[in-house]
Amino acid sequence: MKPTRFMTLNRHILEGEKMHPEATGELSALLSQLSMAAKVISLEVNKAGLVDILGFTGDSNVHGEQVKKLDMFAHEILIRAMDHGGHFCVMASEEEEDIIRIPQKHKIGKYVLLFDPLDGSSNIDANVSIGTIFSILKRVTPDGKPGTIEDCLQEGYKQVAAGYVLYGSSTMLVYTTGHGVYGFTLDPAFGEFLLSHDNIQIPENGRIYSINEGNYLYWHNGLKKYIKYLQSNTYDDKPYQARYIGSMVADVHRTLLYGGIFMYPADKRNPNGKLRLMYECNPMSFLIESAGGRAIDGKRRILEIVPKDLHQRTPIYLGSKKCVDLIESYLKEDEENKGGN
């Protein structure tokens, strides 16, 4: 990665606004607020092993999954940081069934924030990298009034910004507004996100495939044939490599930087896969496409899926263009064979 100029996140966002005269500076303000929330969450995540913040709250989230204290902490921090800046008309979180309304005492804005406050949280106790994923849309209902579910349920190609915060060996914030993908690393010495990955471009091809092979029994034939192909062939005269962290933000971040493919497919048990469209797959797909890659559900662009429910799931295959092209051809052939018999 080429050395980068000394650039803070806030300055980078402001410079990005200057390139778009129609920008009102509002997007830069809300992205800056988001980075503030990320710093607070990072502090808690990094000391989680030291204080009694681990373990279960005894509650469970809307999907019936046990919620760890850090999940709820991140969820609450993001709401408190973002609900009074006057930027949003409505928000939505993996941790809440319904939309999150802006308190009446605050100004209503023109944006929509959808987020997964702490993705991969089942890995918290094992100190595996986890992350926050965010997606920003512009409202479609009239300005000035509280936002509605209609403002949230928009196709992914309508996003105005998306990104993630990775709480790993260092804390990184990666975002795009559709004009390039930029990575910032938090310098804990003075609490600033500094540009460390300028205009990230995903390699056109790659040798790393990332999937939970424990689900092999339930895979459809096309996917089995594809994985068998990878295991029986080489790329650049070297074998393909299997890497699976089980934390979407970490697996996608590695795919973005090193190339290859990340998959959470449909299978015989879960026809829609596991990952959520609105606040996991859409933002990650927007990032990957902005970096020159592809993201499909097996048949079409993730970003073209017309959402029907805030928490709907979708299969996802994302990464280097040539890797996604190849799996797409295997899945298409499988569909045609099914149709033929």
d(CA 53, CA 45) in angstroms, rounded, equals: 9
Residue range at the interface with ligand P6P (CB under 6 A); choices 36-44, 102-110, 115-123, 227-235: 115-123
Q: Hey, what are 40's tokens?
A: 């607070």
How many Cβ atoms are within 10 Å of 244's Cβ, its own excluded? 16
Asked whether position 285 contacts ligand P6P by CB under 6 A, the answer is no
Phi, psi of 75, rounded to the nearest 5 degrees = -60, -50
Stretch that binds ligand P6P, among 81-89, 192-200, 242-250, 304-312 (CB under 6 A): 242-250
Per rule CB under 6 A, is residue 248 in the interface with ligand P6P?
A: yes
Q: Which is nearer to ligand P6P, 15 or 218 (CB)?
A: 218
Nearer of residues 139 and 276 to ligand P6P, judged by Cβ? 276
Q: Which is nearer to ligand P6P, 247 or 320 (CB)?
A: 247
By CB under 6 A, residue 247 contacts ligand P6P? yes
- Least Å distance between CB 186 and ligand P6P? 21
Beta-strand ranges (E) seen in the chain are 56-60, 66-68, 88-93, 100-101, 111-119, 130-138, 161-167, 171-176, 181-187, 192-197, 208-210, 234-235, 238-239, 241-242, 261-264, 294-296, 316-319
Q: Do strands 88-93 and 111-119 pair parallel, antiparallel, or not at all (unpaired)?
A: parallel
The least CB distance from residue 227 to ligand P6P, in Å, is: 15
What does the alpha-carbon distance between residue 298 and residue 332 come to, in Å, rounded to a whole number?
8
Interface with ligand P6P, residue 260, by CB under 6 A:
no
Binding mask 212-241 for ligand P6P (x = CB under 6 A): x-----------------------------
Give the CB-side neighbour count of residue 159, counting CA atoms within 13 A.
33
Smallest separation, CB 120 to ligand P6P (Å): 4
Total residues contacting ligand P6P by CB under 6 A comes to 10
Does residue 119 belong to the site contacting ligand P6P (CB under 6 A)? yes
C-alpha angle 118/34/116, rounded to 5°?
Answer: 25
DSSP classification of residue 278: I
Q: How far is the CB of 62 from ligand P6P (least distance, A)?
A: 14
Stretch touching ligand P6P by CB under 6 A, among 2-10, 45-53, 190-198, 243-251: 243-251
In this chain, which of 33, 122, 270, 272 binds ligand P6P, going by CB under 6 A? Answer: 122
How far are the Cα atoms of 111, 239, 242, 283, 288 from residue 158, in angstroms, in the given order?
12, 38, 33, 11, 15
Q: Which is nearer to ligand P6P, 110 or 274 (CB)?
A: 274
Burial class of residue 243, CB neighbours in 10 A (0-12, 13-18, 19+): middle
198: burial class by Cβ within 10 Å (0-12, 13-18, 19+)?
Answer: middle
Q: Which of 168, 178, 246, 307 binds ligand P6P (CB under 6 A)?
A: 246
Does 200 participate in binding ligand P6P (rule CB under 6 A)? no
Query: 95 and 117 in contact (C-beta within 8 Å)?
Result: yes
The reply on whether position 120 binds ligand P6P by CB under 6 A is yes
Site residues, ligand P6P (CB under 6 A): 119-120, 122, 212, 246-248, 251, 264, 274
